[in-house]
Structure 1
Amino acid sequence: MDLDIDTVRVARTRADCVLRPGEVFLGGGTYLYSEPVPAGVSGLVDLTGMGWEPWSVDGAGLRVAGTCTLEQLVSGPGALGAHTGGPYRALGLVAPCVSALTLSSKVGRSATVGGNLALGLPAGSMVGLFVALDAVAVIWTSGVPTGSTDGSGAREVAVAELVTGAGVVDLAPGEVLREVRVPSAVLAQRTVLRRASLTSTGRTAAMVTGRAGDQGPTITVTASVAAALSLHARDHAAVDRWIDRMDSTGAWFEDVHGSREWRAAMTRRLAHEAFDELVGA
């Protein structure tokens, strides 16, 4: 790691989150520290100093802070979902989604939910997790609204619409992904995950998450496409038509971790498996 930067500031108030020229936000830093410093970046603003509660559950649902580490996500909400059939059944999806990242325990202690979402990488499994849970991202807009110190001046966007392409995220310069909210109605519903990679410990190349909602199963595809795609599936024929449309529109993402053709075939298989599990077949 060789970070050629001039300053590091620790943010402790909303006012500290106003970026100065050349600054970018720092969450866990596990990706930023592994890559060359982007051109023009001369300073970091560390969001972990904000002291946000990693997660909480109340009558409105689950809230996960942008600075919640993946380890905290598993030991908190993930543990709540470990009891099949309980009031937090849907959160059984947390641990396998984190495992899909094939990260070390050291990285898990530092990498954050907000960082994974904000990167917008196809293999970033926090997207598949929170889209399946019908979550909304709360984003602090840039600058400090007059008279505000507690995070007002925010907008909300469905996580399903947050990532719009490979590495392309609906975050304007200076905006902060404050938290992700999962509605209470979702928490007791059944969920499922299926994934594929070229090797047993390789990067996820196709991932399907799903939830058995009140209107029937919802299936979400990530990793094999540049941005999450979801379907309210009625039957296997509908799943096939959906995958066929992805074929016809060239939706498949391709890199060294999998060809378009292979990802398409794996996605089709995984989507059918997820549908079967959600309908209890």
Structure 2
Amino acid sequence: MDLNTIKAVARPRARGELPVWTAGDAWLAGGTWLFSEPQAHLTRLIDLADLKWPPLSITAEGLSIAATCTIAQLDALACPPDWLAAPLINQCCRAFLASFKIWKTATVGGNLCMSLPAGPMISLTSALDGVCTIWGTDGSERKVAVLDFVTGNQRNVLARGELLRQIDIPLAALKRRSAFRQISLTPVGRSAALLIGSVTAEGGLLLTVTASTKRPVRLAFGTMPGPHELREAILQGIGEADYHDDIHGKPFWRKHMTLRLAEEIRSEISSAGARP
């Protein structure tokens, strides 16, 4: 869609060239949502392409994902063999149920900043203990866990003019054994529940609930829970008002699916751990 109210496009090549943020500005990365509907309030786009951030960096500390990294680039990442959680990357990329055109354009950072409950990059990075680096308009920098970055349906902690720079995934999270479950109301619909479970070094369970809830929810168990303990923890930890409600699934159904998928994850992880 043409944005016929845009009067200027800024193309900074370094942080020092970022223009002073004013009313009517918008960051432009992939633009798959930005150009999908009218944006009559916008007058200037700040294109991040010329900043040329490396999309993905594997270091001794883990994985760094630039906010401008595309879904296609992330999906193509060749992960080290000891990253047991690596399958989650491909599974979450495919939870978009999007065309190859979207894959090559949409960005990881854009998915987080849209902060839709069904955002699969939110699911991936929150389950893997991701930490966001946020650039302030005054040259400052702050870090926020992905679990705290998204605060509700299309709501997050970004203040006016702040920019998501990258998401860092710690090595320990990438080495955890994990299990993935996702369901949609229709065959090619938006995720109505997306849960990821992983095993801690101490043998406990970390369960991250997304899509069915308005924001990511983490439930942690010091040891592997039984079915009843897991169910009660979900019932106590996720209130009725926390479940999302839209055409892609009613809250009571999302709650039911959350309980069902959580038990499937617990069962899968428990069975795998019991094998010789």
TM-score (norm 1): 0.90
CA contact (8 A) 2:219 2:237 kept: no
* Residue 64 of structure 1: aligned partner: 65
Gaps of 5+ in 1: 145-152
Is 1:3 matched up with 2:3? yes
- 1:236-275 superposed Cα distances (whole Å, 9 cap, x missing partner): 2232112222564421111001111111111110011112
Which residue type is aligned with residue 220 of structure 1?
A: T
Q: For 1:131 and 1:7, locate their aligned partners in 2 and report how far apart those are by CA, in whole Å.
A: 35
2:88 aligned counterpart, secondary structure: helix
**Which has the higher mean CA deviation after the structures are superposed, 183-192 or 67-76?**
183-192
Is 1:218 matched up with 2:212? no
Is 1:127 matched up with 2:118? no
Gaps of 5+ in 2: none
- Runs of 4+ aligned structure 1 residues displaced above 3 Å come to 246-249
Which residue type is aligned with residue 98 of structure 2?
A: L
* Residue 88 of structure 2: aligned partner: 93
2:46 aligned counterpart, secondary structure: strand
CA contact (8 A) 1:143 1:174 kept: no
* Residue 206 of structure 1: aligned partner: 193
Q: For 1:261 and 1:223, locate their aligned partners in 2 and report how far apart those are by CA, in whole Å.
A: 14
**Aligned in 2, Cα 1:165/1:90: closer, same or farther, shift over 3 Å?**
same
* Residue 228 of structure 2: aligned partner: 237
2:191 aligned counterpart, secondary structure: coil
> What is the RMSD of the two structures over their aligned residues, measured on CA atoms?
1.5
Q: For 1:49 and 1:209, locate their aligned partners in 2 and report how far apart those are by CA, in whole Å.
A: 35
* Residue 169 of structure 2: aligned partner: 182
Aligned residues: 266
1:254 aligned counterpart, secondary structure: coil
TM-score (norm 2): 0.92
Is 1:110 matched up with 2:105? yes
2:209 aligned counterpart, secondary structure: strand
Q: For 1:12 and 1:65, locate their aligned partners in 2 and report how far apart those are by CA, in whole Å.
A: 15
* Residue 29 of structure 2: aligned partner: 27
2:31 aligned counterpart, secondary structure: coil
Q: Could you tell me how far 1:167 is from its partner in structure 2?
A: 0.4
Matches within 5 A, 1:130-279: 130-144=125-139, 153-215=140-202, 216-233=204-221, 234-235=224-225, 236-245=227-236, 248-279=239-270
Q: Could you tell me how far 1:278 is from its partner in structure 2?
A: 2.2
Q: For 1:137 and 1:6, locate their aligned partners in 2 and report how far apart those are by CA, in whole Å.
A: 31
